[in-house]
Amino acid sequence: QVQLVESGGGLVQPGGSLRLSCAASGSIMRIYIMGWYRQAPGKERELVASITLGITNYADSVKGRFTISRDNANNTAYLQMNSLKPEDTAVYYCNLRGSNYLGTQISSWGQGTQVTVSS
């Protein structure tokens, strides 16, 4: 079993910043990719940012404002969000894809953390 615990969400004014964390634990032998997704009310879940082997990928809507990073030693991913806009309001989910010690491919989601950008 793999567990992902997210933290760092909250209420922030437009133009403000938040830093999300995602700590992974459990039977993880190798992590291929970690990503942050978000889902706003009435909308589909969308990829915000991902990181694999040090290569990062961002949705066009967050490029230049968000930065994803990863602490390999602690199996933790971060999402630094700057210059936040009301349209960034959503539940943010962490996702991990990798393999466990049996060689089985795994994909796990966190429980989500609410980010609200409002004055």
| The amino acid at 69 | S
Strands (E), the chain: 2-7, 10-12, 18-26, 30-39, 46-52, 55-58, 66-71, 76-81, 90-99, 105-109, 113-117
Minimal CA–CA distance to 81: which of 36, 16, 31, 2? Answer: 16
End-to-end CA distance of the chain: 40
What confidence category does residue 1 fall into, taking pLDDT thresholds of 50, 70 and 90?
Answer: confident
Q: 20 to each of 39, 86, 99, how far by Cα in Å?
A: 15, 17, 24
pLDDT at 54: 85
pLDDT in tens, 36-74: 999 999 999 999 999 998 899 999 999 999 999 999 899
Under 8 Å between Cβ of 111 and 95: no
Which pair of tokens denotes residue 95? 């996702």
Please say if the pLDDT value at position 29 is more than 90. Answer: no
